[in-house]
A = this chain, B = another copy of it.
Amino acid sequence: MAISLRKARTIIRKALDKGREMELKPLTVVVLDAGGHVQACEREDGAAPGRFAIAQGKAYGAVMLGMAGTAQMARAEQQAYFMTAVNGVYGGQVVPVPGGVLVRDKKGAVIGAVGVTGDTSDNDAAAAMAGIEAAALTAEI
């Protein structure tokens, strides 16, 4: 199974709605497929130009390692050189903090990841989770 474009649009719109509801700063949301490739993304007006790469990096590490942002951050805090090395083999594309959220289907298989950036990492993760759940998928933050 994969995240269809239709589902990806729902994820993005509902994540942005959640951001407005929580009165967060402008958000950027990226949806990656199960291979770490971009399916869809939107950057809100007022978000800084480099935010796409941060959102992508949060989602990329999640899907490539099969480990969500919260777990990546814990590992980075315990064993910083490990996450540095992981970034070496992945070309520096991993941003190991909350806001990189795994997306699972009903059987528990990882079918992609969502990356959100713009506010605090925890708020970013909350927005991502709202989007994923609105698409009837399971989020692992």
Task: State the CA gap A90–B39 with chains docked (Å).
Answer: 17
CB distance from A86 to the nearest CB of B (A): 7
The answer to whether the Cβ of A17 comes within 8 Å of any Cβ in the partner chain is no
Give 1 or 0 for each of A77-100: 1 = CB within 8 Å of chain B CB. 101111111111111111111000
CB neighbours of A95 from chain B (8 A)? 82, 85-86, 88-89
* Contact of A89 with B81 in the complex, beta carbons under 8 Å: no
Please tell me which one of the listed residues B2, B51, B65, B94 contacts residue A88 in the complex, with CB atoms under 8 A apart.
Answer: B94
Task: State the CA gap A33–B52 with chains docked (Å).
Answer: 12
CB neighbours of A67 from chain B (8 A)? 48
A88-B87 CB under 8 A given contacts A37-B49, A48-B66: yes
A-B contact pairs, 27 of them (CB 8 A): A4-B45, A5-B44, A5-B45, A34-B35, A34-B49, A35-B35, A36-B49, A37-B49, A38-B41, A39-B43, A40-B43, A41-B41, A47-B66, A48-B64, A48-B65, A51-B65, A53-B64, A54-B65, A56-B89, A81-B83, A82-B97, A85-B87, A85-B92, A85-B96, A87-B92, A88-B91, A91-B92
Further contacts, 14 of them, CB under 8 A, given A34-B35, A85-B97, A88-B93? A33-B35, A35-B37, A39-B42, A40-B41, A41-B41, A48-B65, A50-B63, A50-B89, A80-B81, A81-B83, A81-B84, A85-B87, A85-B92, A88-B91
